[in-house]
Structure 1
């Protein structure tokens, strides 16, 4: 094996996978701590740049792309759920205040 970034091989032994996953988790945690929902191509917080470099060195490029795609999908899903919950809460508050009740 020529390493995670060489030769295109996506095979990592158990220890290399652990290093990859630890680097991934550290980078995404840093992004979240700095208020950024990571998306491929989006700016990376300056304090997270070294963690991103470590992540890219520890993991095969195909894994980095996969993890980035998962992270982006998770952020999109979270935003959608938050918006849905807020709309439901606003609707419920209006109903409780009598705004949406029909006279009968």
Structure 2
């Protein structure tokens, strides 16, 4: 932090901020894994541009890859070797379930 004004730094708590950032990243990772699971793949990097549709109004939609201007739905996917590595890594990872209850959660 580079605030020179003491008043600006009085509310900053690096310990609290780092814990919040860590919680946010854990939650975001879990959401991305759930998205991958909903798409039928083991890792978010394996989601293709045609697995996600962008809604345009109430009745129209377009595939993600067309909406963002990719050349094909498979643009940006990992190589075959990388896909196999991801699959082997994710096979050993725990699946499903809920997050551990916090220390302050009511039981």
Q: More relative contact order in 1 or in 2 (CA 8 Å, sep 6+)?
A: 1
TM-score, structure 2 as length reference: 0.29
Structure showing the higher helix proportion among its residues: 1
TM-score, structure 1 as length reference: 0.29
Structure showing the higher strand proportion among its residues: 2
